[in-house]
Amino acid sequence: MVKGFSNNEVKNDTEIKESNKEKKGLAAFLKGKKFTYTLPGKKQINIFGSIVLGLNMILILLVILYLKNQEFHDFVFNVGR
């Protein structure tokens, strides 16, 4: 006999009663709505990719400037207080 399987059928005579509570808030608002996800187009992918790469380059430049330039380091240190 294979473990986990049985030839005997299990009968559940008790029915599960669903609660008929009214949904409130966001659930009530979203009850009839159907959401569909569409993949972004090539232009949108390029725009977001350019933004992410640009912000990463600015972050790297600021970190290098922070480590190498003492005046910028002091400025960041004083503004952060």
Whether the Cβ atoms of residue 76 and residue 66 lie closer than 8 Å to each other? yes
Q: Percent of the chain having pLDDT more than 90?
A: 47
Instruction: Tell whether 7 is covered by a domain.
Output: no
Q: Which tokens belong to 78? A: 């004083």
CA distance 18 to 22: 12
Instruction: Tell whether 60 is covered by a domain.
Output: yes
Instruction: Tell whether 66 is covered by a domain.
Output: yes
* Predicted local distance difference test score (pLDDT) of residue 26: 73
Query: Taking the model in full, what pTM does it have?
Result: 0.52
* CA geometry: angle 32, 44, 53, nearest 5 deg: 125
Task: Determine the average pLDDT of the residues in 29-37.
Answer: 74
Task: Determine the average pLDDT of the residues in 10-38.
Answer: 67
Instruction: Tell whether 17 is covered by a domain.
Output: no
Q: Give the chain's domain count.
A: 1
Instruction: Tell whether 12 is covered by a domain.
Output: no
Number of DSSP helices (H) and strands (E) in the chain, helices first? 3, 0
* Predicted local distance difference test score (pLDDT) of residue 2: 54
Instruction: Tell whether 58 is covered by a domain.
Output: yes
Residue 62 lies in domain: 39-79
Instruction: Tell whether 2 is covered by a domain.
Output: no
Instruction: Tell whether 30 is covered by a domain.
Output: no
According to DSSP, residue 70 is labeled H
